[in-house]
Amino acid sequence: MGLLVLLSFALITVSFRESDGGGLHSAQALAASALHPLQVAIERVVRPFRDLYGYGSDLVHARSENERLQREVARYRQEAIQYRSAFDENRLLLEMTNYRAPPSYPADYEPVRAAITAYSPAQLQQELVIAAGSRDGVRVDDPVVSSAGNLVGQVTRVEARASKVTLVTDESSAVSARVLRRSTTGIIVPGRAGSGVLSLDYVRKSSFVREGDVIVTLGSRQGSEPSLYPRRIPVGRVTAVDQSDTDAFKTVLVEPLVDFGSLDGVVVLVERRGAR
């Protein structure tokens, strides 16, 4: 063993010291040329096995991915069946109880578009005047939205050709609302004066709500009296959620979806006759 190691070191030393045209280099080149066909043959034999291994690995991964997708499809089908069952059951209950839902937005409303002609100078009285009135079908308590369909406020005074709109940021405003795609409900009221931020009050500590959730109008009924606002009008997006041990409810701050400082026109939702 030691003799082979010494011989190897000797050959390496001679190879480094010998010129490119030396006998040892010539022998190495000759051996390489002689072995090249063998290397090519070995490569041709080995390549199909290497490709087969890669194909087998990809096939195993594909099967695993396919099984995962099949499980997801089965879960979605089960959820669809449950949702359809709940929908059919709900429809049956409504038919049995002769339930009359509040007007549906936007199907049961006629939009009346109006330009803004004046703003309230008072900080606490968040109001504006629009160029549409009773001659256009506008009535007191009609909901008002932006051109994008987001909640602006409600009509609180009507004249023949003009109306006053009280914004959702006004200190007198209160809108029943809920978190979109959740059962969490509360009342939208103005936040700190002048901040332009809203607050979703009376949210129970056990209710689930998080930053980024969208708040929409609830549109519920109180006895025989319907809500002033139809259901599912977008109001704002939750920006902060907090709770303490001493408070009975969560603190939920909401950023309005409407930029009230850049409004130049609104849409009054006039309920169609026979909608209720």
Residues 223-239 have a mean pLDDT of 80
8 A C-beta contact, residue 263 and residue 116: yes
Mean pLDDT over residues 213-233, rounded? 77
Structure tokens at 234: 């977008």
Tell me how far CA of residue 153 lies from CA of 49, 78, 82, 225, in angstroms.
Answer: 72, 41, 37, 19
Structural tokens at position 194: 């002048």
Question: What confidence score (pLDDT) does residue 20 get?
Answer: 53
pLDDT at 52 over 80: no
Burial of 150 (0-12, 13-18, 19+ CB in 10 A): middle
237 C-beta neighbours (distance < 10 Å), count: 15
Q: Indicate left, alpha or beta for 144 from its phi (over 0: left) and psi (-120 to 50: alpha).
A: beta
- CA distances in angstroms from 209 to 18, 183, 205, 214, 216, listed in the order given: 81, 10, 10, 10, 13
N- to C-terminal Cα separation, the chain: 102
Where does the pLDDT of residue 82 fall: very low under 50, low under 70, confident under 90, or very high at 90 and above? low
Per-residue pLDDT reduced to its tens digit, 91-138 = 666 666 665 555 667 778 899 999 999 987 666 568 999 999 999 999
Distances in Å between the Cα of 216 and the Cα atoms of 90, 147, 235, 251 are: 22, 16, 5, 17
In this predicted model, which residue has the larger pLDDT, 143 or 62? 143
Query: Which residue in the block uniquely carries the two structure tokens 């405003």?
Result: 173
Rounded distance between C-alpha atoms, residue 118 and residue 127, angstroms: 9
Calculate the CA 53 to chain-centre distance. 43
The proportion of the chain whose per-residue pLDDT surpasses 70, expressed as a percent, equals: 62
CA–CA distance, 156 with 146 (Å, rounded to integer)? 17
**pLDDT value of residue 115:** 95
Mean pLDDT of 42-67: 67
Report the distance separating Cα 28 and Cα 44, nearest Å.
24
- Residue 228 CA to residue 221 CA, distance in Å, equals 9
How high is the mean pLDDT of the chain?
Answer: 78
Where are the strands (E) in 168-233, listed by range? Answer: 175-179, 185-190, 198-201, 214-217, 221-222, 225-226
8 A C-beta contact, residue 227 and residue 221 = yes
Instruction: Write down the pTM of the prediction.
Output: 0.61
Rounded Cα–Cα distance for residues 87 and 265 (Å): 38
Of 198 and 222, more confident:
198
Measured distance CA(141)–CA(14) in Å, rounded: 103
